[in-house]
Copies of this chain bind each other. A is one copy, B any other.
Amino acid sequence: MGKELSVKDIAEMAGVSIATVSRVINQNGRFSKETEERVKKIIEEYDFHPNQLARGLRVSTVRVIGILVPDITNEFFAMIILELQKILMTYGYLTLICNNNEDERIENEQMDMLLGQKVSGIIYVGGRGIAKIRKGLPFVCIDRRPVSAGAESEVPYCLIESDNVKGGRLAAEELYGRQCRNVCVVSYNQEISAYKDRVEGFMQAMRSHGIEPMLCIAEYMNHYNEGENMMDELLEENPGLDGVFFTTDYLALGGLRSLARRKIPVPGKVKVIGYDDISLCENVFPALTTIRQNVKQMAEQAADLLISLVNHETVSRDAISKIDVELISRETT
């Protein structure tokens, strides 16, 4: 391995001081065009990469963003992370991705490690409770409104989320428009803001048409056989059922399996709508109608916001809007 190169070595080879090298690397301070060229050439030639730890120690933060997420295996979260990483990379930041299966103990542990690494900021994707967020550390949430452990106002954070109420409404209108009159919502834990909002929007819209949907709550996220089981129960209890809105694609896919197994025509007899628009949706038969969340836009806003925070720019709350959603009409309605 030999000795690793340092700015000192570069400085020597370029015949300048380390200060100058540092200046051209960070493009601040002043230096002549010629010295810049010379230094840059040497850096290039020797494939030198400044030690980020030393830099971080000096400036007390490092160009790394921590990302907390409940389940990377969930395609919706994976898509968000993918986009986040792309964008942050263009800003010159690496991402430290941490999984925690909604396990608060693990989450705290990861948060500690992140703090130990002196990350520049943290993005909290789909998180439920903010364990301990350090004041002053740039922090933005995506997808869910966390419930702070202490007093509500003590934990300020920025939130990027979809317009879930609208999503629910869109689903309701689609179902109603396609003549469904005996409908049901199946969702997850209603303490999670995203799901609560979707259900709320759906309920509101249906009620405005004089329909009172049934509400079923699944227990675990991402166990789509839950969708299948719920659908089974629903079908047996309510033979007249003609439409169901699942607040997650995974759930809906499970429901579809139940329907297919029973050879119940979709959308002929019952129509179904999912939420998220993961890649599976258009690759099952029949292809799943769903509410698409604008993942790209969510990630973009979150990343930009975080970087602004990192750079101590004042961020106007107006810049933070609810991201629009759209209905993707496919074969199940």
Write the residues of chain A forming the contact surface with B, with a CB cutoff of 8 angstroms: 1, 4, 49-54, 56-57, 60, 62, 64, 71-73, 75, 78-79, 81-82, 85-86, 89, 94-99, 106, 109-110, 112-118, 134-137, 222, 224-225, 227-228, 253-254, 256-257, 260-261, 279-280, 282-285, 287
Contact A73 B62 (CB under 8 A): no
Contacts of A50 on B, CB cut-off 8 Å? 116
**A53-B117, A136-B1, A260-B285 in contact; A82/B78 too (CB < 8 A)?**
no
Q: In the complex the two chains form, what is the Cα distance from A89 to B110 in whole Å? A: 9
Contact A284 B282 (CB under 8 A): no
Contacts of A282 on B, CB cut-off 8 Å? 225
Contact B73 A78 (CB under 8 A): yes
A311 to chain B: closest CB distance in Å?
16
Contacts of A72 on B, CB cut-off 8 Å? 72, 78, 81-82
A123 to chain B: closest CB distance in Å?
13
Q: In the complex the two chains form, what is the Cα distance from A49 to B253 in whole Å? A: 44
Contacts of A135 on B, CB cut-off 8 Å? 1
Contacts of A285 on B, CB cut-off 8 Å? 256-257, 260-261
Contacts of A57 on B, CB cut-off 8 Å? 51, 53-54, 57
A260 to chain B: closest CB distance in Å?
4
A200 to chain B: closest CB distance in Å?
27
Q: In the complex the two chains form, what is the Cα distance from A54 to B60 in whole Å? A: 10
Contact B98 A49 (CB under 8 A): no
Residues of A contacting B: mostly: helix
Contacts of A81 on B, CB cut-off 8 Å? 72
Contact B75 A118 (CB under 8 A): no
**A135-B1, A260-B285, A284-B253 in contact; A82/B75 too (CB < 8 A)?**
no
Q: In the complex the two chains form, what is the Cα distance from A260 to B284 in whole Å? A: 9
A2 to chain B: closest CB distance in Å?
9
Contacts of A82 on B, CB cut-off 8 Å? 71-73, 99
In the complex, which residue of chain B has the Cβ closest to the Cβ of A278? Answer: B73
Q: In the complex the two chains form, what is the Cα distance from A81 to B1 in whole Å? A: 28
Contact A94 B96 (CB under 8 A): yes
In the complex, which residue of chain B has the Cβ closest to the Cβ of A78? Answer: B73
In the complex, which residue of chain B has the Cβ closest to the Cβ of A93? Answer: B113
Contact A49 B96 (CB under 8 A): no
Contact B78 A112 (CB under 8 A): no
Contact B85 A99 (CB under 8 A): yes
Q: In the complex the two chains form, what is the Cα distance from A284 to B257 in whole Å? A: 5
Contacts of A64 on B, CB cut-off 8 Å? 96, 117
From A49, A79, A115, residue with most partner B Cβ within 10 Å: A49
From A113, A134, A254, residue with most partner B Cβ within 10 Å: A113
Contacts of A94 on B, CB cut-off 8 Å? 96, 98, 110, 113-114, 117
A76 to chain B: closest CB distance in Å?
10
Contacts of A71 on B, CB cut-off 8 Å? 82
Q: In the complex the two chains form, what is the Cα distance from A49 to B118 in whole Å? A: 10
In the complex, which residue of chain B has the Cβ closest to the Cβ of A61? Answer: B53
Contacts of A79 on B, CB cut-off 8 Å? 73
In the complex, which residue of chain B has the Cβ closest to the Cβ of A109? Answer: B89
In the complex, which residue of chain B has the Cβ closest to the Cβ of A62? Answer: B53
